[in-house]
Amino acid sequence: MKDLKDIKSPADIRQCSVEELTQLAKQVRETIIGQVAKHGGHLASSLGVVELTLALHYVFDTPDDKLIWDVGHQAYVHKLITGRYEKFGTLRQKGGISGFLKRNESEYDCFGAGHASTSISAALGFAAARNQLGRKNNVVAIIGDGSMTGGMAYEAINNVGISKHNMTIILNDNKMSIAPNVGEFSKYLNRIISDPVYNKMRSDLDRLMTRLPGVLGLRFRDLFLQAEKAAKMVVKPGRFFEDLGIRYFGPIDGHDINELIMLLKRVKVQPGPCLVHILTEKGRGLDAAVKNPTKWHGTGPFDPESGLPLHPGNMNPSLTSVFGNTLLELAKKDERIMGITAAMPTGCGMDIVAKELPDRVVDVGIAEEHAVTFAAGLACEGIVPVVAIYSSFMQRAYDQMMHDVALQNLHVVFVLDRAGLVGADGPTHHGAFDLTFMRSVPGLTIMAPSNENELRDMVVASIGMQGPVAIRYPRGVSLEKELKPATGEFDYALPKVLEQGSDILLLGAGFMTNELKRTAEVLRENGYNPTLVDARIIKPLDTECYRNLLESHKVIVTLEDNTLVGGYGSAVAELLADFGLTDKKLLRFGLPDKFVEQGEIKELYKMLEIDGESVAKRIMEKL
């Protein structure tokens, strides 16, 4: 009997019997639950694809055959059986293996993934390259039903059907239970339509009927195809794919290894593009995750017996909940307000509004581009749409922000959660670029609160403003247990001087202002007298106020959790140039011009030398 620790590569999987694979699946689930219970991670998705992952590596000759996974939330099984068992204890930790797919981590990770709906497009690229180079390997895209809500997936499917390239799409459907049609008749029909003898007969008949004289052959051919389609439609929902030129197989039980292996072996040799529809149970193997897969999609450390968190941590409310509760208060008083989210109602706080005002929140699925243009349409008719999306996901809707909202000067409020570094999810999820790409959008007001009370005031102020508005804030909790009431009198045009000094001007963007408070302390301990300013507004910068601040200090320091390329520090540098203040010394601190790896946020700050003490040390070194 194979033990998981003895699996060094998928070649070892291929030596197993079906019974051994079943036992291996149990060990895989226990290992994943044990690891995530210690350090947190994406749990439910990986638990749902254990049998599928084993079957794929059993049937396909990886890494020569290419498995392209969507998003990467479900990659833990794949990592365990592709030589990373010994490193699995470092998952999502600084210097450890990634929680997603990374090309530079393993030859089995043939395409990086962290955002959704990319796998089919990438797989088609792999298939086209294979054909161009005269290779014979197989290409498989694995995509979940959630990712299929993204428009990019349908753009790719349309292209796949036209291309006729040999490739397989696995549609992992985990939203429905194992339906009644996954029974003997469905299995029987899958076996018939995937059988090599049947498919040879099908091809031979097709050639024969097209050679018959006149329209007779074409009529017989149409009758045959219609009969096949009718038989399949008795138990199958796959006509959509068939009509686009992709052969459909399924749905089948995604936890039946024997059935998966049989069907994948047959589909593997089918010419042209094929789609296999499997039904799985998200969170399988952990009762709590099965009952509430949304909660267990991503989790912190927990007790695997009780399901309770191991480290409750800071009991202050999260910034996400501060935003959600503020928006709920406003929406109760103003019927114009509507919330929009792209498959992240809980992650972005929109679930708080939806629970009390369900008809005032629209979840568009993983479709950020649609979310923004949908909001533009609402704004045209007098609605005040509040679009809440993670910073890194908003990158996907840049054109819609520019073309559909800003160009028409529409009043849409963008709320970017997870701005800055996010920790263990790493470079695919760090919100490191939002200030840069948003600063280039004409007419967009960008606000960055440094605490929860400013966040509340900014949300309130944003509703009454004109044109497009963006509020960005990091993943984290409030600094205070009790929030002050929103004043409704927030002066969003001006930076706020927190401590008046001389010589050195410390300008903080958003929550990084709190790091600068420590910088100011260290500088004062060493004989300096800095002025500390909370920028609050990143765009537009009030020229008169900034001129006074910049002219009255010799050294200007900016700190932000955005890349230094085109961020807040760049905006201040542009002002200095515009004012002709060439005698000033500008020190910019922020994220480097490279992708930052995973790790605890505080340790990443320390590593990048953008924590308060490191900034103070670097300032004194430069002076």
What residues act catalytically? 282, 368, 396
> In sequence order, which residues have a C-beta less than 8 Å from that of residue 390 and are 6 or more positions away?
344, 347, 348, 416, 417, 418, 429, 431
Question: Are the beta carbons of 282 and 174 closer than 8 angstroms?
Answer: yes
The CA distances from residue 76 to 79, 206, 301, in Å, are 5, 44, 16
Strands 585-591 and 445-447: unpaired
Give the C-alpha separation, 150 to 152, whole Å. 5
Q: Is residue 577 exposed (0-12), middle (13-18) or buried (19+ Cβ within 10 Å)? A: exposed
Strands 337-341 and 273-279: unpaired
Query: To 10 degrees, the CA torsion angle through 303, 308, 314, 319?
Result: 120
Question: 3-class SS at 24?
Answer: helix
Question: Are the beta carbons of 220 and 209 closer than 8 angstroms?
Answer: yes
> In sequence order, which residues have a C-beta less than 8 Å from that of residue 225 and are 6 or more positions away?
none
Chain mean position to CA 31: 24
Give the C-alpha separation, 92 to 109, whole Å. 16
Give the C-alpha separation, 171 to 486, whole Å. 46
Q: Which of 152, 151, 172, 155 is nearest to 163 (CA)?
A: 155
The CA distances from residue 562 to 337, 511, 570, in Å, are 29, 11, 11
Amino acid at 87: K
Give the C-alpha separation, 388 to 146, whole Å. 18
Lookup result for tokens 């542009």:
574
